[in-house]
């Protein structure tokens, strides 16, 4: 069954997540993982990864979630993997085992780990060093606002995460289509992964 990621805003009180879990189960979804992205002002933002029957309409899922009082759905999009920490460790291990192909390993892994559609490593000159196999061809790069790690939305509505890789002058660009913006928690996790990549591969090498 395909995996879907569901981003929800719900009341941060006992029983709220249980209600969502029962609702998802009744609709036919099997919960794989729950990640809390944020808790503030009595509300929580959660990413819930579920397996969803191939033949079932997403309208069933949306209608079920709409029936939960106080729940807001930020988005539902397809993903390839639950956003656990072990995938991050695995890709760092792949980079360490084969440094010459470290950038390729990183760029090919992050769309799967973060529920993105494609990724690219940009060089000091802003040109593409390597793009993941899912990237559009030809690849039109967005205008990146200002500097530093950030989430932003392109003029075409695509959601982007832009992560400088240490002092190398290069940057990781991750794109997500038809999905909510990257959350600050995801940006921080991408920064950690980029920092690990720089430590493993070294400044002035492939990254």
What is the pLDDT at residue 82?
Answer: 67
Whole-number pLDDT of residue 86: 55
Report d(CA 93, CA 97) in Å as an integer: 6
Cβ atoms 79, 3 nearer than 8 A: yes
**Domain assignments of the chain as residue spans, ordered by start:** 3-79, 85-201
What's the pTM?
Answer: 0.86
Residue 200: the pLDDT is 85
H/E element, 138: none
* CATH class, 85-201 region: alpha beta
Angstrom distance (rounded) from CA 198 to CA 68: 44
Tell me which residues of the chain have a pLDDT lower than 50: 203-207
Helix axes 85-97, 102-114, angle to 10 degrees: 170
- pLDDT tens by residue, 15-36: 999 999 999 999 999 999 899 9
The total of other beta-carbon atoms located within 10 Å of residue 80's CB is 12
Instruction: Return the pLDDT at 94.
Output: 87
**pLDDT tens, 180-204?**
999 999 999 999 999 988 888 774 4
* Contact indicator for 142, 126 with CB cutoff of 8 Å: no
| CATH 3.30.70.260, domain 3-79, yes or no | yes
What integer pLDDT is reported at residue 83 of this predicted model?
A: 64
Instruction: Return the pLDDT at 89.
Output: 79
Which residue(s) pair with 173 in the sheet? 120, 162
């Amino acid at each position: 069954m395909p995996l879907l990621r569901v981003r929800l805003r719900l009341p941060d009180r006992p029983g709220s997540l249980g209600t969502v879990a029962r609702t998802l189960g009744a609709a036919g979804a099997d919960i794989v993982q729950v990640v809390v992205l944020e808790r503030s002002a009595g509300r929580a933002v959660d990413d819930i990864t579920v397996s969803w029957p191939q033949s079932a309409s997403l309208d069933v899922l949306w209608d079920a979630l709409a029936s939960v009082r106080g729940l807001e759905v930020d988005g539902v999009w397809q993903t390839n993997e639950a956003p656990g920490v072990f995938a991050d460790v695995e890709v760092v291990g792949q980079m360490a085992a084969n440094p010459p192909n470290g950038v390729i390993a990183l760029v090919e892994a992050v769309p799967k780990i973060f529920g993105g559609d494609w990724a690219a490593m940009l060089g000091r000159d802003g040109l593409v060093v390597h793009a993941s196999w899912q990237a559009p061809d030809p690849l039109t790069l967005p205008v990146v606002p200002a500097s530093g790690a950030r989430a932003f939305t392109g003029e075409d509505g695509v959601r982007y995460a832009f992560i400088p890789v240490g002092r190398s002058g290069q940057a990781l660009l991750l794109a997500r289509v038809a999905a909510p913006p990257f959350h600050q928690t995801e940006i921080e996790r991408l920064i950690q992964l980029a920092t690990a990549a720089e430590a493993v591969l070294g400044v002035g090498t492939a990254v």
